[in-house]
Amino acid sequence: MPAPSPLPHLEWRPAVRHAKDRRSFLKSTTIAGTAITLSAMQYSRVYGANERLQIASVGTGGKGWSDLLGVAASPNVDVVGLCDIDSSAKHLGQAAEKFSSARQYDDWRRLLDESGDVQGVLVSTPDFMHAPISLPAMQLGKHVFCQKPLTHTVMEARQMRKAAKKHGVVTQMCNQIQSHSAYRTAVHLIHEGMIGKVKEVHSWQGGQPSWPRHIPRPSGNDPVPSHVRWDLWQGVAMERPYKIGMYHPFNWRGWQAYGTGQLGDFGCHILDPVFKALQIESPTKLTAEAPELMPETWTDRSTVRYEFPGTKYTAESTLPVTWYDAVGVSPPRERLGHIPVDAKLPGAGSVLVGEKGSLVIPHVAMPQLYMADQTLAENLPVISSVDHYTQWADACRGGAETTSHFDYAGPLTEAVLLGTIGIRFPGQELHWDTDSMQITNHAEAQRWITKPYRKGWEPAWV
């Protein structure tokens, strides 16, 4: 078994971060000590009621479009920068049309280079580029709104959490269902003790993904469309030929180099009310069941059994949490506490089995609470929704704290990504020591805590 690759020292800072043609960005980050201190101080001050927040968006198509509209819906936000590697209508085009006074970029490094007037950055790119873009943005003192999962590796998630704290910026991961009445109500019911202390959790996603799973890399290459900057799309990942419809847009999810599979895609949503309600953070061990992975794609089904240290909301000193994903999957009925065997379960969601009852948290619908006698509780309290997008904008302007800040989203993402490491080693129990960031009993698994980066694109670690 090969020795684990050493983790980069957390204080290590690369001398050269970006390609040579980005001289001015290099210049601004070499003097980062001064620049960051100033900008963090400027932007963390309390804003006046009429002061505006200037934002830039990286990845304006796909989910990025609704992220941009969601944040820009805040009455005090100006969109001043737009960046997308695809200039066609569904990507940069529609954003440029709507926010016509914003500067346009195809390279996020240039956007950051010219970001003197920008206080907040939205990062809505594929997973593997979240940290490489967010980290230098935070180092420049920008507030960051970043898509889920927060990062592509556990190391990156830890770095994002550290960077947000170090630079004092406002952060929010976009697991926006957290702010929906359905999830807020579920968390409230647990905190109110409606099912008593929780004994075990089952979470699942039984939907049919449309992206490639369990296939080999296609051979050959297709011509790159003139509106796509394939070199920039690949960013920190190792270069490979362009193939139509295989990676960009959307289908990157199924590829290990870019996405995080079904657990990574949905874990930060479906496990979120479990983490929020029970205040769990880092698992101590996990074991996955999954077919052997193809070299480059993610699996089409997995089960990951985690063990977390107990909290004041759990019945025991440890809490078992099991994740299931496969088309049509749901947890074993005999494990579901007070839920009648003929009760219809949602296609995706969680069941929290408590001492006094069991809570079903559908993804996404209002929770259902089964009492000890297996009857459904009625007239439950309802907690109203808040706006996950404007919450971040408001917090940047001195309002109340965000709820999916990186201090919360970092550990949630780490747990999800540890599960994806487990999928690489089916049937093998992995022991996790969060303080040292070590999978203490498995050197080969430990190597997946971080990953190699394309030369010249190494992230700017804290």
Ligand X SMILES: NC(=O)c1ccc[n+]([C@@H]2O[C@H](COP(=O)([O-])OP(=O)(O)OC[C@H]3O[C@@H](n4cnc5c(N)ncnc54)[C@H](O)[C@@H]3O)[C@@H](O)[C@H]2O)c1
Provide the binding-site residues for ligand X, judged by CB under 6 A. Answer: 58-64, 83-86, 91, 108, 124-127, 129, 147-148, 174, 176, 232-233, 235, 248-250, 265
Q: What is the smallest separation between the CB atom of 61 and ligand X, expressed in angstroms?
A: 2
Closest CA to 404 of 419, 418, 425, 389: 389
For residues 62 and 410, which CB has a smaller minimum distance to ligand X in the complex? 62
For residues 232 and 386, which CB has a smaller minimum distance to ligand X in the complex? 232
Cα-Cα-Cα-Cα dihedral of 50, 55, 60, 63, to 10°?
Answer: -70
Closest-by-Cβ residue to ligand X is 62
Q: What is the smallest separation between the CB atom of 306 and ligand X, expressed in angstroms?
A: 21
Q: Strand order in 368-371's β-sheet? A: 368-371, 357-362, 348-354, 198-205, 318-325, 302-309, 285-289, 430-433, 438-439
Q: Do residues 215 and 297 touch, judged by C-beta distance below 8 A?
A: yes
For residues 253 and 338, which CB has a smaller minimum distance to ligand X in the complex? 253
Q: What is the smallest separation between the CB atom of 64 and ligand X, expressed in angstroms?
A: 5
Separation between Cα atoms, residue 5 and residue 215, nearest integer Å: 28
Separation between Cα atoms, residue 215 and residue 192, nearest integer Å: 46
Q: What is the smallest separation between the CB atom of 191 and ligand X, expressed in angstroms?
A: 24
Q: What is the smallest separation between the CB atom of 133 and ligand X, expressed in angstroms?
A: 7
Separation between Cα atoms, residue 175 and residue 185, nearest integer Å: 16
For residues 118 and 129, which CB has a smaller minimum distance to ligand X in the complex? 129
Q: What is the smallest separation between the CB atom of 92 and ligand X, expressed in angstroms?
A: 7
For residues 179 and 314, which CB has a smaller minimum distance to ligand X in the complex? 179
Separation between Cα atoms, residue 401 and residue 460, nearest integer Å: 26
For residues 122 and 194, which CB has a smaller minimum distance to ligand X in the complex? 122
Half-sphere exposure of 295 (CA within 13 A, CB side): 3
Partners of 357 in the β-ladder: 371
